[in-house]
Amino acid sequence: MEASCLELALEGERLCKAGDFKAGVAFFEAAVQVGTEDLKTLSAIYSQLGNAYFYLKEYARALEYHKHDLLLARLLAGPAHSAPGPHPCPPTRPPFPRVPILL
């Protein structure tokens, strides 16, 4: 019987907690290959992969997986939680007045 995505991810997490990041990555990668329809689980796996690659000093790969995680997090949060372009509201207080500096 094949392991589920979640089972593989949990083993990857256990291995990383034990300091075996290389083996942890292998389990996280296998979890991604098995796949899941649960986007929260997939987001967590991407985050853990990013962390594991960071500890392995593979920074480009770490950044790649953290970007995947960020994309899913934004998707899960929905448009109400996305950062807008220019801020639609003016500042609530006027700017500080200029005060001359006396030396």
Domains of the chain, earliest start first:
5-77 (1.25.40.10)
Band (77; pLDDT cuts 50, 70, 90): confident
Q: How far apart are CA 31 and CA 17, in angstroms?
A: 17
CB contact at 8 A, 52 and 28: yes
* 3-class secondary-structure state, position 101: coil
Answer yes or no: is pLDDT of 16 > 90: yes
Answer yes or no: is pLDDT of 1 > 90: no
Q: How far apart are CA 65 and CA 71, in angstroms?
A: 10
Whole-prediction pTM: 0.74
Answer yes or no: is pLDDT of 86 > 90: no
When pLDDT is averaged across residues 66-82 and rounded to a whole number, the result is 82
